[in-house]
Amino acid sequence: MRRTTPPRPIDVTAVLPQLAPLARPAIRLHPRPGSPTPLDSSVGGPLLWPAGEPWPHCDELHEWYDSELDEWREGPNAMLPVAQLYVRDVPLLRPPGQADVLQLLWCPFEHEPDYKPPTRLFWRSAAEVTDLLAVPPVTAAVEYDEYVPERCVIAPEEVTEFPHSLQLGKELQQQLEDWNGGQESGAAFYKHELSLAPGWKAGGWTPWGLTDPIVQNCAVCDAEMTPLLTIASKEWHSRRLSWVPYEDRDIAAVAGSGVENSPRVQISGGNHLQLYVCPESPEHPHSDLIQ
């Protein structure tokens, strides 16, 4: 499976050369329904998980109805696979040591105080997993179905991104305002067509907008953290189709196909979950926020 983003309508660095040093690679994941194996990169599992390693659980309080026992139960909740990314597919990942696969799980709840699903990240070396866990534990409690990803294969594709305009200096923001981007204001054209790729992605820049940009500092070494993974609620909007890959152009025109959100994930009603990693060490704890 391959997905190809059309080239941007113009080279923005030809208009605003100050943006050139801010270019960053991002890898669009383009999740689509499929049947990945534990040896594949995927969204929604299955994970390459060692039989001898405890499955991660969320320790917050959960209640669920057990239909076999016909009673309400409470306790910790087995987390759900969200993404598994092999470095061979997403080479901008920076693994520790010999690790070559990154696994993300979450609990399908918006727990207080942040009202977002708690996330856990694991790095592992695929060659060391010889005895595979056959059946992961069932996630008994689900607050929102929108946090239960549909199983998808991915089609990683590298693109170039520039910062959200809120992350640019005042002078650059003003130049964008003054620039005539053709059919719309330069600022809107930059925001929608030239800066950030929509959809699930690794690396790149953060899709700010729900709040002003907030610097994320590592809890261990205080370094400024960088975007690791963006989990989106949509890969395109019906009126903004320039980021739709060539291979999806036909189906994007079919109303209700749902392909623009194949994993069926909605982050707090249509936002993004942005995960960050410390550039000094992948073993320092990650952070995340909703945008």
Report the residue from 133, 242, 280, 287 that binds Zn ion according to the rule CB under 5 A. Answer: 280
214 binds Zn ion (CB under 5 A): no
Min separation Cβ 140 and Zn ion, Å: 11
Report the residue from 23, 214, 220, 253 that binds Zn ion according to the rule CB under 5 A. Answer: 220
Q: Which span sits near Zn ion by CB under 5 A: 50-58, 66-74, 130-138, 252-260?
A: 50-58
Span 123-182, contacts to Zn ion by CB under 5 A? none
**Pair 282, 96: CB distance under 8 Å:** yes
Report the residue from 221, 251, 253, 283 that binds Zn ion according to the rule CB under 5 A. Answer: 221
Of the two residues 93 and 278, which places its CB atom closer to Zn ion in the complex? 278
Q: How many residues bind Zn ion (CB under 5 A)?
A: 12
278 binds Zn ion (CB under 5 A): yes
**Pair 37, 46: CB distance under 8 Å:** yes
Min separation Cβ 289 and Zn ion, Å: 17
Report the residue from 176, 218, 228, 273 that binds Zn ion according to the rule CB under 5 A. Answer: 218
Min separation Cβ 139 and Zn ion, Å: 9
283 binds Zn ion (CB under 5 A): no
82 binds Zn ion (CB under 5 A): no
Span 7-46, contacts to Zn ion by CB under 5 A? none
- Length of the chain counted residue by residue: 291
Report the residue from 12, 19, 43, 58 that binds Zn ion according to the rule CB under 5 A. Answer: 58
Span 88-127, contacts to Zn ion by CB under 5 A? 107, 109
Q: Which residues bind Zn ion (CB under 5 A)?
A: 58, 60, 77, 107, 109, 218, 220-221, 223, 278, 280, 284
